[in-house]
Amino acid sequence: MKILGIESSCDETAVSVVEDGKIVLSNVIASSLEEHILYGGVVPEIASRRHAECIEQVTKQALKDAGCELSDIDAIAVTAAPGLIGALLVGVNFAKGLSLKTGIPLVPVHHLRSHIAANYVTQPDLKPPFLALVASGGHSHIVEVKSYTEYKVIGQTRDDAAGECMDKTARVLGLPYPGGKNMDAVSQEGNPHAFQTPHPHVDGSPYDFSFSGLKTYVINTVHHMEQKGEKPNVPDMGATIITAVVDSLADNTERAAKDLGYDTIVLAGGVSANSFLRKRFETICENNHWTLYMPALQYCGDNGAMVAAQGYYEFIAGRRAGLDLNAKATMAIDAEF
């Protein structure tokens, strides 16, 4: 069964054809990243305009790369929530138009569900149930994945997401957007104990996260140093903040897995590309004799293959959308469209 996956929730216009939720036949990504670098972050209006300009071409290319015609496609899966509303609407309306024209069923996909599904294309042997840590620019969740379409959130951030914290730290340190990725690269040789950071935690909620204190710590520390004519050592500060974020993500996930009895751990979302996070989870899972799944690096960030993969499971579970499908800026992972 061939699914066309369409993703436009942020700054990537991405379309892919995936067979049976596992075999990637094509994976085309157009990004407006270069333009956002000028502004130090994603400008929603620019992202929406670029989606509108290139979505048709990206879709044609994805079909061509897969050696398919639209008539070979069994379902059109589209990211409909959560994300930047103007950006999401481009993908949703394009998918609705395609579905109307061709009669191919339309399947709405939740963005975080698709990030988890990036693991199904990377490691086809992965099957629920498992415990997932989903960390991206907008979300930090610990989720019980009970089946391909059933989820229970057991922990989440109370304020900033892990990616947001790293992006903001990078910005204060003068690193270009996308901050999280650049900070990972420059912090490889940094001393993770160079600064004494607060330990992010939420009293009484052992699986929840709070990263805004770390962000404030960086802003204040850099400000105080600048007032004294000093500059922070960027690799040291980067390594310190990444390690503090990773400690929190790893400790809560390990605790949750022990408490709930999971021995399969899955990482997902843009932050799952972080080298410190990947190494930490390799160690945790080795020590506990747990099995770890991480997306291949090309599937950590936003892409159409993960949408098509999740779309496959939503489709076989009978999920469909009509032409009244709307995009939503926010939506819980366990809610239905």
Give DSSP secondary structure letters for 77-98.
Answer: EEEEESS-HHHHHHHHHHHHHH
The candidate with the shortest Cα–Cα distance to 309, out of 130, 42, 98, 75, is 75
Binding of residue 235 to ligand KG4 (CB under 6 A): no
**Between 96 and 139, CB nearer to ligand KG4:** 139
Which has the closest alpha carbon to 77: 50, 58, 61, 98?
98
SS3 167: helix
- Report which of 254, 261, 270, 264 is spatially closest to residue 303, judged by C-alpha positions: 270
Out of 21, 91, 155, 178, name the contact with ligand KG4 by CB under 6 A. Answer: 178
Long-range contacts, 282-289 (Cβ 8 Å, 24+): 284/250, 284/253, 284/254, 288/254, 288/257, 288/258, 288/263, 289/263
Cβ 107 vs Cβ 137: under 8 Å: no
**Candidate list 18, 89, 271, 327; residue touching ligand KG4; CB under 6 A:** 271
Helix, strand, or coil here: 268? strand
Least distance from C-beta 178 to ligand KG4, angstroms? Answer: 5
Does 184 help bind ligand KG4 (rule: CB under 6 A)? yes
Which residue is nearest to ligand KG4, using beta carbons?
270
At its nearest, how many Å lie between ligand KG4 and the CB of residue 228?
A: 29
Binding flag, residue 184, Zn ion (CB under 5 A): no
138 binds ligand KG4 (CB under 6 A): yes
By CB under 5 A, is residue 302 in contact with Zn ion? yes
136: contact with Zn ion by CB under 5 A: yes
Binding segment for ligand KG4 among 55-63, 89-97, 180-188, 306-314 (CB under 6 A)? 180-188
Binding site for ligand KG4 (CB under 6 A): 10, 115, 136-138, 163, 166-167, 178-181, 184, 269-271, 273-274, 301-302
